Structure 1
């Protein structure tokens, strides 16, 4: 099997329930009586998503925030989380950071599982939320003529990781990587207005490519309009680097966002690729952002 995309394609054959949304979203959307529940699960692997010697309090924060960011992209109100934890180094620090994150986002821990295992650790978290608006936003739905928007700069997490790896003594230099922010309030404000929305975890270009596929359109992005946190000479890297957890969203052309945001392009009728950058169609997703390889 070639990698993550092929594996997910095979999983789609199994995910036939309507709540799975064909696995074209980061969340399941489950109707339960009069309520709509939003469910997501993300994992962090040691040496892949965090450094082997990283402060486990920061890892715990990151685990909570990355999952809640998926809820933010659905305009959801978090109801609670379930944790899957592999015991190991600095468990007390992990608990400290977990408590900080849960208090910050005012979300309860509802349960989970702990295990012991040899080798690098993988930590998982399931987040459960309640929809604040229906229909719940998805990656699909972008319409020709809509505007493409982003809530903030990309590239900050890239610089943060570099600062962490370099041993920078200023905590602020690595904060964007260590403790990302889930934009829950922004997502809830945008949910009634957007035609499509997702959070940016794997890089702006790759995630926009995925949105274009899900919506059956071409997202035309002007790279110069994208706010970046990096020096100008690293703009191309910033567009492809993930972990910024900004919201990428689509609005009808006449609608202005109720939150701070930057317009970075326009939705076009589907061409030969789901993404266009500065007038050039990008049909190959292999170098657009972070993907797990098999």
Structure 2
């Protein structure tokens, strides 16, 4: 670190990211004016070196991933993000040059997604680099999408494609080919599916971070329903199809950050029209069923028989 210690570090690298309400990062808190008719949605995520990103991942992509996984939570609730907080636990091995690139990645995505840094905290650590983002977003009163709204008879839809990030991590570890780098890019820099107006279309939603099957389980449990996934309908990229990876591995992998939606059949056309307006692909992949005890998720093969999966999804501990 170049002279001045912690406060100079903040002033040089993160003060340029500060926006309205941040008080130039010179006070103990930000001041955010209310917005009539809206609720404040708040989400936080932590990413840890060697767990959520690799030690040699480009610093700029680490910054973008940190911000984007939080933006994905906003997309899942139908909320409009405007500001965020950053906490950094910095080990001695991470030098000034690394954090300059990190801040450049954040700046690029702040411009793209229209958000501003409001504050945060920095500290030293003898352990791995730990980064936490807390994001703030506005959502109209009563319009937030939640996990607990799925209803019997709803269809299950997914945005984008599934499994690319899992294969991207494998490629970085030398266990999978990635000729054009698209799989690696999906792992390092997810695409938050902001911009879809889903209130009145979807009954429930979440973003797929821990694996499609496991996250279906979250909706099933919270909504008191059962879910079937039709494996043959799950959208895969050309790179994922050519990898030869087993479908079970792709359904259980994490870091997809696609939106999982429970939508009544009567609103399917509205969903497809809204997705087309937002430039986001959507695919129907399953169905919501009545269940005596909610939480059951079944994956069906092309023949309609249940598939056995090696694991359900990512577990942090």
1:86: Cα distance to partner?
2.1
Find the counterpart in structure 2 of residue 269 from structure 1.
Answer: 290
Counterpart for residue 67 of structure 1:
70
| Counterpart secondary structure, 2:107 | helix
TM-score normalised over the length of structure 2: 0.76
- Secondary structure of the equivalent of 1:255? helix
2:72, 2:192 within 8 Å by CA — same for their partners in 1? Answer: yes
The match for 1:97 is 105
1:75–1:133 Cα contact (<8 Å) kept: no
**Alpha carbons of 1:169 and 1:194: their partners in 2 closer, same or farther (altered >3 Å)?**
closer
What CA distance in whole angstroms lies between the structure 1 residues aligned with 2:73 and 2:135?
9
C-alpha contact (below 8 Å) 1:77/1:132 kept by paired residues: no
Gaps of 5+ in 1: 1-30
Structure number with greater Rg is 2
TM-score for both structures, normalised by structure 1 = 0.82
Q: CA deviation at 1:245?
A: 0.5
Deviations 1:113-172 (A, max 9, x none): 111111112110000000046331100011111111001210111122223333968544
1:156 alignment partner, one of 164, 168, 175 = 164
Aligned to 1:36: 39
Q: Counterparts of 2:228 and 2:292 in 1: how far apart (Å)?
A: 10
Counterpart contact for 2:40–2:136, Cα < 8 Å:
yes
Query: Equivalent residue for 1:28?
Result: none
Q: 2:48: which partner in 1? A: 45
> Which stretches in structure 2 are left out of the alignment for 5+ residues?
1-33, 276-280
- Compared CA separation, residues 133 and 72, structure 1 to 2 (3 A): farther
Answer yes or no: is 1:180 the counterpart of 2:190.
yes
CA contact (8 A) 2:39 2:141 kept: no
Report 1:1-150 matches (<5 A).
34-88=37-91, 89=94, 90-132=98-140, 134-150=142-158
Deviations 1:180-205 (A, max 9, x none): 1111112xx22331100000000000
Task: Tell me if structure 2 keeps the 8 A contact 1:70–1:198.
Answer: yes
Aligned-partner Cα distance in 2 for 1:54–1:171: 13
SS in 2 for 1:249: strand
Q: Give the root-mean-square deviation of aligned CA atoms.
A: 2.4
Secondary structure class of the residue paired with 2:161: coil
CA shift, 1:35, in A, is: 2.2
Cα distance, 1:66 vs structure 2 = 0.1
Post-superposition Cα deviations, 1:53-89, rounded to whole Å, max 9, x if no partner, equal 2111111000000001000001110010100012341
Distance 1:177 1:133, change over 3 A: farther
